[in-house]
Amino acid sequence: MSQLAPVRVGLLGLGTVGGGTINVLRRNAAEITRRAGRAIAIRCATARSIDKPRRADLGGIKLLKDPFAIVNSPDIDVVVELIGGIEPARALVLQAIANGKHVVTANKALIALHGNEIFAAAHAAGVIVAFEAAVAGGIPIIKTMREALAGNTIEWLAGIINGTCNYILTAMSTAGREFGDVLKEAQALGYAEADPSFDIEGIDAAHKLTILASIAFGIPLQFPRVLVEGITQVSREDVRYAAQLGYHIKLLGIARRTPDGIELRVHPTLIPEQRLIANVNGVMNAVLVRGDAAGPMLLYGAGAGSEPTASAVVADLVDVARVLTSDPENRVPHLAFQPDALTDVPILEPGAIETGYYLRMHALDKPGVLAEVTRILAEQQISIEAISQREPLADEDVVPVIIITQRIREAAMNAAIARIEALPSVSGPVTRLRLEHLE
């Protein structure tokens, strides 16, 4: 066994992921040491309340009230940031870097919003900032794209990258359960963010997509350019109608290279039921990546939860342990491409994005109404793939009409929807969900 001194870790955060990280490091200590070439030891840790009982054995770990005492400690080599949110996480990470310490974090919000600044600081200081746990929990998607697919031009990727939303959509479709109840369950299981609106509004998935797109295409992190729609507007009837037409609804993050720029979008999406990714259920995540050489590749695994996420944190710690003695210039670049080789490919405006659509509207149950709707779609050059009129709603003279369209620019669809909503024969807003065949 190695005679090298253990890597000394300071742990910020003792919650779901922090506790899991302690448990995995303890349980697998011997295997981890064999892989890393030296032991990895958590020396000290912090949380808001250091007296709270924890789901982890804290024996031998010094608990400190002040997180800055950890990042400033000369006895710590690596800081693991598992607090979440922007501040004080950002200040702590930057201070750790300034002190020459390597950092491991699971904080996708921090990387998506401040990663450019953090990686520049880390590059200047010659330290690593590792963030595998920030995207898709236990799935090694960062390492796969950054290293294993380094020979490919990535064409597009599409991922179910929020476990909480997938958990909710699965329960709505398989058990017909209420949104609110299932969200509470996902929170109790430790899947949801501290503010669960980040999950259900699509923001957490957009943070992760921002990171994936940078690594896929060699572009700076650009969270504000992502088109984001969450799952709050997906109703149980949409889930049911989509299923009747052969589609499952998933919250997808999509990044696609097009001749005009890069599409970055997160939204509920109808996917044909025969696609593998359409059958990823519960808290499981999956990312489908298409490289020009490797072709399509699907990575599947637990997208949230204590130990799956800890698995990624610990893998990053092993990487840090392995490279502690290597030349900084020869390390794997943070965003896969060399820092001076990032390119400025434009991100497409939402109106320029092309996708298929599912439309649901309530139309008066009388002749000629469907003709008016289809005429508007035709005038906007929108081709219809399927159209179906459902049973009339109880005590009402309107019928739900479902239309599936072929791919069309979002601007044309927005114009068509505005015209359809203005028809006297159509009542209320048109529900619009995007649809991807992912072929």
Instruction: Give contact residues for ligand HSE (rule: CB under 6 A).
Output: 137, 162-164, 191-193, 199, 204, 303-304
Interacting residue with ligand NDP among 7, 40, 76, 106 (CB under 6 A): 106
CB of 268 to ligand HSE, least distance (A): 15
Interacting residue with ligand NDP among 94, 146, 160, 193 (CB under 6 A): 193
Contact between 194 and ligand NDP per CB under 6 A: yes
Q: Which amino acid is at 291?
A: G
Using Cβ positions, the residue closest to ligand NDP within the complex turns out to be 15
Name, in order, each residue with C-beta under 8 angstroms of 228's C-beta and a sequence gap of 6 or more: 201, 202, 203, 205, 206, 265, 266, 267
CA dihedral sign of residues 300, 305, 311, 315: positive
Cα(80)–Cα(15) distance, rounded to whole angstroms?
13
Cis peptide, bond prior to residue 88, ω within 30 of zero: yes
Q: Which is nearer to ligand NDP, 49 or 330 (CB)?
A: 49
How would DSSP label each residue in 239-268?
HHHHHHTTEEEEEEEEEEEETTEEEEEEEE
CB of 12 to ligand HSE, least distance (A): 17
Name, in order, each residue with C-beta under 8 angstroms of 435's C-beta and a sequence gap of 6 or more: 247, 269, 270, 271, 355, 356, 357, 358, 404, 405
Q: Which is nearer to ligand HSE, 67 or 137 (CB)?
A: 137
Contact between 73 and ligand NDP per CB under 6 A: no
CB of 173 to ligand NDP, least distance (A): 22
Region binding ligand NDP by CB under 6 A among candidate stretches 100-108, 118-126, 291-299, 340-348: 100-108
Size of the site for ligand NDP (CB under 6 A): 28
**Structure tokens, 190:** 């430790």
Q: 212 has which bridge partners?
A: none
Q: Which is nearer to ligand HSE, 139 or 321 (CB)?
A: 139
Cα(107)–Cα(22) distance, rounded to whole angstroms?
17
How would DSSP label each residue in 85-120?
SSTTHHHHHHHHHHTT-EEEE--HHHHHHHHHHHHH
Q: How many CB atoms lie within 10 A of CB 15?
A: 18
CB of 134 to ligand HSE, least distance (A): 7
CA 64 to the chain's CA centroid: 32
Q: Which is nearer to ligand NDP, 17 or 420 (CB)?
A: 17
Assign 429 to helix, strand or coil: strand
Q: Which of 101, 108, 143, 208 is catalytic?
A: 208
Contact between 209 and ligand NDP per CB under 6 A: no
CB of 403 to ligand HSE, least distance (A): 31
One character per residue 294-333, x = contact with ligand NDP (rule: CB under 6 A): ----------xx---x------------------------
Cα(332)–Cα(323) distance, rounded to whole angstroms?
10
> Which one of ligand NDP, ligand HSE, none is in contact with 164 (Cβ closer than 5 to 8 A by kind)?
ligand HSE
CA 143 to the chain's CA centroid: 15
CA dihedral 48, 54, 59, 60 (to 10 degrees): -30
For the question of residue 208 being annotated catalytic, the response is yes
**Structure tokens, 62:** 């010094």
One character per residue 258-297, x = contact with ligand NDP (rule: CB under 6 A): ----------------------------------------
Contact between 88 and ligand NDP per CB under 6 A: yes
Q: Which is nearer to ligand NDP, 22 or 426 (CB)?
A: 22
Catalytic center residues? 208
Binding site for ligand NDP (CB under 6 A): 13-18, 46-49, 52, 67, 82-84, 88, 106-108, 133, 137, 190-191, 193-194, 304-305, 309
